[in-house]
Amino acid sequence: MGAMATGETTTEPYERQPRVRWVAHDPPGSASVGQIVGENLRRLREQWQWTQHEMAVTFQRHGLSWTRVRVAAIERGDRDTVDLGTLLLLSEAIGVAPAEFFAGDGDVRLSPQAVAPRAYVREQLSGTPSHLRSTDLLVTIKPDNPNLGIRPITSTEADEALARRLGASTQTVVMEALTLWGHSLTDERDRRVRALGDMEPNERQAHRGHITRELSREIEQRLAETDAREDQG
């Protein structure tokens, strides 16, 4: 069994992905962490012409009690996720950077509700400064109501201000807004202001402030209810 070549992962220049949007189903081309790691484990093994048994023996020497059957299961994507410790041991065993296990195109399902581009995951694992804003991490959100369709978020300025005031993440505020209105707090505020029709700038600014406070209270109430349920649970 020959030694594997050690090399740094090659990450293509990152292109900005779409912002948060509602989706009724998992986006085409998305896969779980476990599926993507398994896909790349198989790619590397076949590239180096190793058998699954040889791969398992190598992993056993580096702290993973894996058999050929386990290697085959991982390659099939039978596990939804792979924990960080396992990922580091896999990388150490075969001499590649952790980011190599997220090579390729498409999205990674980080949770049942959120996905992000593989390029983003590679950047995080490589320590490369990310080009994503905090709200871009949740590239897609799966709503409870599949009839909502796709609604792109165009602005999050008010969401970010509320998040700072509450000491919460912008992602948390945006997700609550998506649940309530199907778009960000900022978009909902602007929609309601537009519905009031033409008015003087000072009057419009006053309405903007009033509506922002009203919408912010709705989100605060939802967050408080969520915290209360978690405390009871």
Domain that holds residue 60: 21-147
> What is the edge-to-edge ordering of all strands in the sheet holding 107-109?
21-22, 140-141, 114-117, 107-109, 31-32
- Any long-range contacts for 158-167 (C-beta under 8 Å, 24+ apart)? 158/184, 158/185, 158/186, 158/189, 158/212, 158/215, 158/216, 159/135, 159/184, 159/185, 159/186, 162/216, 162/219, 162/220, 166/220, 166/223
- pTM assigned to the model: 0.53
Q: What is the pLDDT at residue 10? A: 42
In a domain? residue 164: yes
Domain count, the chain: 2
Do 133 and 34 sit in the same domain of this protein? yes
Q: Which pLDDT band, with edges at 50, 70 and 90, does 111 fall under?
A: confident
Instruction: Answer for the pair 153, 160: CB distance below 8 angstroms, yes or no.
Output: no
| CA separation for the pair 74, 80 (Å, rounded) | 9
User: Residue 7: is its pLDDT beyond 90?
Assistant: no
In a domain? residue 73: yes
In a domain? residue 68: yes
Do 199 and 228 sit in the same domain of this protein? yes
Tens-place pLDDT, residues 131-146: 555 444 444 444 444 4
User: Residue 43: is its pLDDT beyond 90?
Assistant: yes
Q: Which pLDDT band, with edges at 50, 70 and 90, does 104 fall under?
A: very high
Instruction: Answer for the pair 218, 180: CB distance below 8 angstroms, yes or no.
Output: yes
| CA separation for the pair 201, 61 (Å, rounded) | 71
Amino acid residing at 89: L
| CA separation for the pair 55, 69 (Å, rounded) | 11
In a domain? residue 2: no
In a domain? residue 15: no
Pairing relationship of beta strands 114-117 and 107-109 according to DSSP bridges: antiparallel
Amino acid residing at 77: G
Rg from Cα positions in the chain: 23
Q: Which pLDDT band, with edges at 50, 70 and 90, does 148 fall under?
A: very low
Write the CATH number for 43. 1.10.260.40
Instruction: Answer for the pair 91, 59: CB distance below 8 angstroms, yes or no.
Output: no
Amino acid residing at 104: G
The per-residue pLDDT of the chain, averaged, comes to 79
| Average pLDDT estimate for 19-34 | 62
Last residue of a domain, one of 116, 147, 178: 147
How remote is the C-alpha of 200 from its chain's centroid?
Answer: 42
